[in-house]
Amino acid sequence: MNLKELAASLNLSQTTVSRALNGYPEVRAETRARVLKAARAAHYEPNTRAQRLATGRSMTVGHVIPLSDQHQMVNPIFSDFLASAGEVYAREGYDLLLSIVGVDEVEAAYRKLASNGSVDGLMVHGPRVTDARIPLLKSLGLPFIVHGRSAGSETCSWLDIQNRAAFEHATNFLIDLGHCRIGLINGLEVFDFAHRRRQGYDAALQARGVSPNPAWVTCDEMTEEFGYRSANAMLDLDDAPTAFLTSSILSAIGVRRAVAHRGLTLGREVSLITHDDVLSYLRNGGDGLAFTATRSPIRDAGRRAAEMLMSLIDAPQQGPLQELWPVELTLGRTTGPAV
């Protein structure tokens, strides 16, 4: 059943039926009711392909997820981010086009999405400190939101959290507890979030006159194993850290394993603060998991970023939308005074 047939069955023109269905005012209430009833009865659904061609809008937003080449690894925050963003899109009648591409095909993917018109807007994940995608997207003229920041993002729209302040705060908190050997188990510092966290860590150490040590800092994909390995290696040092900062709760779990394996206890001999994206299947809180953490729910970010994108698509000429969210430090059971 298509519009033409539906119109014929009602003895109306396609125009009238289309207007009736789309809520235009130039249709008598009685006629509209008749049309809606018939449409429902016939299970009529307008063909999206035709609709999109006719309107020139694709009613689709694109998420391009870069797949890190070596490990073929998908950042575990994506599923939660996508889930919450997806809800917003669905509510607004938009489709979500997910594009999974190797890290060096990302640029080509954006270019293609833009030029073949298959999306009305884009979400940018995992921005790097300097990121070729930002200038590219600016030049393409498609609305986009960056989840995070990057060089050149002053003039574009983004949603980010205070990574630097959060880690500065966390580091200070550990120093206040008497720790002066603090390990940082960070994400890859080519990524802006990790770079900023490092800056916060460095700044706090410097401000408090605590001397840094390169051996106390590692950066990599934030897996459990990476946390375990890093903590193990650092704990083997003569001047082993007495406290750790991790950039992901998965790495924190790895640190916990390394610590437990040595018969030590988090919050006693070793302290740990992790960043917590509040992943739905890795809740921090109940039952003693309770890492002391800088918390910022990724789902809230996904939801808000999607809303911002919708708004930008509706009114592309509006100035850049930028939101910088504060991050709270929540106390768990993994921090205690230095022994």
Rounded to whole angstroms, how far apart are CA atoms 245 and 2?
59
Residue (23 or 263) nearer to DNA, CB: 23
Residue (162 or 265) nearer to its own copies, CB: 265
Choose among 325, 320, 318, 253: nearest CA to 296: 325
Q: Of these partners, its own copies, DNA, none, which one is at the site of residue 22 (CB under 5 to 8 Å by kind)? A: DNA
144: part of which helix (H) or strand (E)?
Answer: strand 144-147
Residue (49 or 211) nearer to its own copies, CB: 49
Q: Of these partners, its own copies, DNA, none, which one is at the site of residue 86 (CB under 5 to 8 Å by kind)? A: its own copies
Place of tokens 């298509």: 2
Q: Does 234 bind its own copies (CB under 8 A)?
A: no
**Cα-only R_g, the chain:** 25
Q: Which are the contacts of 48, defined by CB distance < 8 A and separation ≥ 6?
A: 59
Rounded to whole angstroms, how far apart are CA atoms 217 and 198?
9
Please state the separation of Cα 160 from the chain's center in Å: 9
Q: Does 136 bind its own copies (CB under 8 A)?
A: no
Rounded to whole angstroms, how far apart are CA atoms 94 and 177?
49
Q: How far is CA 68 from CA 102, 105, 226, in A?
A: 6, 11, 16
Residue (175 or 266) nearer to its own copies, CB: 266
Q: Of these partners, its own copies, DNA, none, which one is at the site of residue 261 (CB under 5 to 8 Å by kind)? A: its own copies
Q: Of these partners, DNA, its own copies, none, which one is at the site of residue 325 (CB under 5 to 8 Å by kind)? A: none
Residue (120 or 168) nearer to its own copies, CB: 120
Q: Does 267 bind DNA (CB under 7 A)?
A: no
Total chain residues near its own copies (CB under 8 A): 63
Residue (98 or 151) nearer to its own copies, CB: 98
Contact present, 133 and 140 (Cβ < 8 Å): no
Other CB atoms within 10 Å distance of the CB of residue 15: 13
Contact present, 64 and 113 (Cβ < 8 Å): yes
Q: Which are the contacts of 88, defined by CB distance < 8 A and separation ≥ 6?
A: 303, 306, 307, 310
Q: Which two tokens stand for residue 237?
A: 């040092």
Binding mask 45-84 for DNA (x = CB under 7 A): -xx-xxx-xxxx----------------------------
Q: Does 225 bind its own copies (CB under 8 A)?
A: yes
Rounded to whole angstroms, how far apart are CA atoms 334 and 292?
6
Other CB atoms within 10 Å distance of the CB of residue 291: 27
Q: Does 116 bind its own copies (CB under 8 A)?
A: yes
Residue (12 or 298) nearer to its own copies, CB: 298
Q: Of these partners, DNA, its own copies, none, which one is at the site of residue 299 (CB under 5 to 8 Å by kind)? A: its own copies
CB of 131 to DNA, least distance (A): 29
Residue (2 or 206) nearer to DNA, CB: 2
Binding mask 21-50 for DNA (x = CB under 7 A): xx---xxxx-x--------------xx-xx
3-state secondary structure of 154: helix
Contact present, 284 and 249 (Cβ < 8 Å): yes
Q: Provide the binding-site residues for its own copies, judged by CB under 8 A.
A: 43, 45-50, 52-53, 56, 58, 63, 65, 67, 71-76, 78-80, 82-83, 86-87, 90, 95-101, 112, 115-118, 221-225, 228-229, 232, 250, 253, 256-257, 260-261, 280-283, 286-289, 299
Q: Provide the binding-site residues for DNA, judged by CB under 7 A.
A: 2-4, 11-16, 18-19, 21-22, 26-29, 31, 46-47, 49-51, 53-56
